[in-house]
Structures are given as structure tokens and as C-alpha cells.
């Protein structure tokens, strides 16, 4: 019996076994025989392609956490699992019925035995990916007060994900995850998510997880920091986000804000941007 993190061993008393089913009597106590560091989440409807040395095996994602995942693969004749070398890395593609959710290089931790079907435990080799070409100057990250939340449906489980945003920029953001319940894998794509600032102000976008780091705060408590790169956002929402971040840095900084035209003309003359001769000059014909 597993609850995703702990494995419980129960020794029941068999009452009946027949063609219709099995009936047992459970004892009042059981034994905890192992405990995982991180909880595993069951998955449904996620297809898997495992590629190694030009050989492609298909199957389904069984469960996962923020560090590894378990897949069930089938060998379609003339395929055989002897074609897979567990000592070499494999490439994994995870997708639902609509789009690809994850691609990455993984190592095989262990696997079950079987001729037609096997379960494989896989661990991503990279904890950080480079989604875009590296810029000379990195976008400045801001810590807002109050901080927004990432709200989405997890692409593997369909469960609601609600995570606190640690810092934010115009090109990405970081979120905080519990050490024992991580749900984001580097390389995973969230096609539909919201940055929720208040109940009435939310920004919809898509993003990809680009890193996964274990952190320790000053009190000694451990947590997981996951960075996400923005992939797509409505241009008007992005302009509002940039405007908010600029004001967080400087309260007198405005982008595309409504202005008093008389005050704007005064500003142009006072700064010398428009001088009397330029103002009086006729337009070129």
C-alpha cells in the first residue's frame, strides 16, 4: 500500500478467493518498510516515447515527482528490451493528446523484468536548461509585495497547482516548492497558466521550467526553487507587467501611461528637446 511517499506493508487474513474476487481481513496494525524523500504523483493519459540508438519504445507515464519518474514500456515485435542499454542515457518525450509536455535526456535508475512490458525509473540528467540564447545583460528580477501566485493545471496529473512566485522579470519568474512535494521538472512546459496578483487581476501565459535548485533559508529550512521562462503572453498583458516592474524599481517610472499633453509640451521645451527655432521652422516640403 502506498500513499505516494510512504510504503506500508500489511499482512491480511485471507477469507475467500474465487472467480469473483478476493476477500481479506485487514489487521489493526501494519509496518512502514520504506519512505521516499519526495512524494510520487500518479498520472493518466500521458504517452511516452523512449529513444536510444535510433530505437523507439512507446508506453505510458505511471507516476513522477520533481526528481524522477516511472514509465511503463512495451516491446512490439521484433523489438526486445535487450536493445536497451541501461548504462547509457536515453531521450524521453512525454505528451498528452494535444501537445508535447516534456523532452529531455535521462538516465535509467532501475527497471523491472519482463519480455513484453517493463517499468523503468528515469532521472533527468540536466537540472538546468538553456531555453533561449544567453543575453549579454540578464533581465533584472524583482520581489513584489504582495507576491503573485502561479496557478495552473499540472500537465501530468490535471491537479491544480498553486505556487508562490519568489521573483519576477519581464522574461521569466521563479517559484517556491516544498522539498517533499516537488511537481515541476526542468524542461516541462506549462501551456496554460496564470500569474495571479489578485482575484481581479490575472495574467495568462505559457512557460517552461528551466531550472530546479535545492535551497536553504537562513533558518536552515530546505525548499526547492524552480525557474520558468516565459514562452507566450498577450502583448497588452506583457506591457502591463513591464510597466508594473518598472514602477516597482522606480515609483516615478511609467510606460505607456496617460499623460497631460500641456505638461508634456512644457517638458519638451524645458529639457531643450524642442527649442524655439525648431518649433517655428516650417515642415520640409
| pLDDT tens-digit profile, the chain (285 residues) | 555 556 777 888 888 888 888 998 888 887 776 566 678 889 989 999 999 998 999 999 999 988 899 999 999 888 999 999 999 999 999 999 889 999 999 999 999 998 899 999 999 998 888 877 777 767 788 888 888 999 999 999 999 999 999 999 888 999 999 888 889 999 999 999 999 987 778 999 999 999 988 898 888 888 999 999 999 999 888 888 888 887 776 666 666 566 667 777 777 777 777 776 766 666 664
CA separation for the pair 24, 15 (Å, rounded): 5
Biggest CA-to-CA distance, the chain: 103
Does residue 226 contact residue 212 with C-beta atoms inside 8 Å?
Answer: yes
What is the pLDDT, as a whole number, of residue 180? 84
Q: State how far the Cα of 94 lies from the Cα of 86, in Å rounded to an integer.
A: 19
Query: What is the structure's pLDDT at 4?
Result: 54
Note the helical H segments in the chain: 235-249, 261-271, 276-280
The pTM of the full predicted model, rounded to 2 decimals, is 0.75
- With contact defined as beta carbons under 8 Å apart, do 105 and 89 qualify? yes
Q: Which residues of 236-275 are buried (b: 16+ CB within 10 A; e: fewer)?
A: eebebbeebbbeeeeeeeeeeeeeeeeeeeeeeeeeeeee
Query: Residue 29 has what pLDDT?
Result: 83
Q: Which domains does the chain have, with CATH numbers?
A: 6-35 (no CATH), 41-124 (2.40.10.220), 127-285 (2.40.10.220)
Mean pLDDT, rounded, of the chain: 85
Amino acid at each position: 500500500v502506498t500513499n505516494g511517499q510512504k510504503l506500508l506493508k500489511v499482512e491480511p487474513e485471507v477469507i475467500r478467493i474465487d472467480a469473483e474476487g478476493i476477500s481479506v481481513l485487514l489487521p489493526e496494525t501494519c509496518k512502514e518498510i520504506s519512505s521516499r524523500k519526495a512524494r510520487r504523483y500518479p498520472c493518466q493519459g500521458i504517452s511516452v516515447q523512449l529513444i536510444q540508438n535510433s530505437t523507439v519504445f512507446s508506453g505510458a507515464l505511471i507516476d513522477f515527482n520533481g526528481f524522477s519518474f516511472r514509465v511503463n514500456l512495451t516491446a512490439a515485435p521484433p523489438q526486445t528490451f535487450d536493445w536497451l542499454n541501461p548504462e547509457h542515457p536515453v531521450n524521453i518525450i512525454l505528451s498528452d493528446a494535444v501537445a508535447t509536455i516534456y523532452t529531455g535526456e535521462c538516465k535509467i535508475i532501475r527497471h523491472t523484468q519482463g519480455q513484453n512490458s517493463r517499468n523503468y525509473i528515469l532521472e533527468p540528467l540536466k537540472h538546468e536548461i538553456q531555453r533561449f540564447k544567453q543575453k549579454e545583460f540578464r533581465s533584472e528580477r524583482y520581489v513584489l509585495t504582495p507576491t503573485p501566485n502561479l496557478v495552473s493545471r499540472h500537465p501530468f496529473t490535471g491537479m491544480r497547482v498553486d505556487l508562490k512566485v519568489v521573483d519576477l522579470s519581464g522574461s521569466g519568474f521563479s517559484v517556491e516548492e516544498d522539498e517533499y512535494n516537488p511537481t515541476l521538472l526542468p524542461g516541462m512546459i506549462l501551456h496554460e497558466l496564470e500569474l495571479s496578483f489578485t482575484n481581479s487581476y490575472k495574467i495568462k501565459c505559457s512557460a517552461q521550467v528551466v531550472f530546479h535548485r535545492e535551497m536553504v533559508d537562513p533558518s536552515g529550512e530546505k525548499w526547492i526553487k524552480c525557474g520558468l521562462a516565459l514562452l507566450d503572453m498577450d502583448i497588452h498583458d506583457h506591457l502591463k507587467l513591464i510597466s508594473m516592474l518598472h514602477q516597482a524599481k522606480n515609483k516615478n517610472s511609467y510606460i505607456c501611461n496617460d499623460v497631460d499633453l500641456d505638461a508634456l509640451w512644457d517638458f519638451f521645451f524645458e529639457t531643450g528637446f524642442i527649442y524655439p527655432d525648431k518649433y517655428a521652422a516650417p515642415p520640409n516640403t
